[in-house]
Amino acid sequence: MLYNIMPSFIQEKVDIMKSEMVEDDIVDNWFLMQYQWPVVTILVFYLAFVLKIGPDLMRDRKAMSLKYVMLAYNLFQTLFNAYIVSFIFIPGSFSYLYTHSCVPLPRQHNPLWMRIFFVLRKKHSHVSFLHLYHHTAMVYMCWGYLRYFKGEQGVFQGVLNAVVHVVMYSYYFLAA
């Protein structure tokens, strides 16, 4: 009896998942959005560089002084994320974002760069499992969300993420 129930239960879940998937010619034609393999390849090379290639490359070299690069990067991230957060304070903009799912908001930075800077500065203790897991998973999950489950409900998470990044990169800028 269980054998007859499982296939219909699984088929029901698959049908629900398929009904929630959204086709969108605009998003589906963006760079890196048609197939998952380019994104997976980028993440594999990123992890290989941060965990093995980068540290091996820097083992016998002096740590790079990237102070001004880091200052510029942190300032850019602070201002960029503050710009995204500013949409909250424009009357009607939040409801506009919720009703128009393909609003051309500026693109968030690539979170993988910060770890590469750590490797080049020989700050290997800053490359934690949590950082690697979080940023690798976020890149892949954001790709999957945009590819298969497009919707305006992602706006709130994006704005919340931008608020956190304003505070975080302001601190990084001031601490550098």
Q: Which residues are catalytic?
A: 134
CA atoms within 13 A on the CB side of 47: 15
CA atoms within 13 A on the CB side of 34: 4
Whose tokens are 């994104």? That residue is 39
Closest CA to 110 of 30, 176, 165, 173: 165
Closest CA to 28 of 36, 17, 19: 36
**Inter-axis angle of helices 129-148 and 37-48, to 10 degrees?**
170
Other C-beta atoms closer than 10 Å to the C-beta of 81 total 24
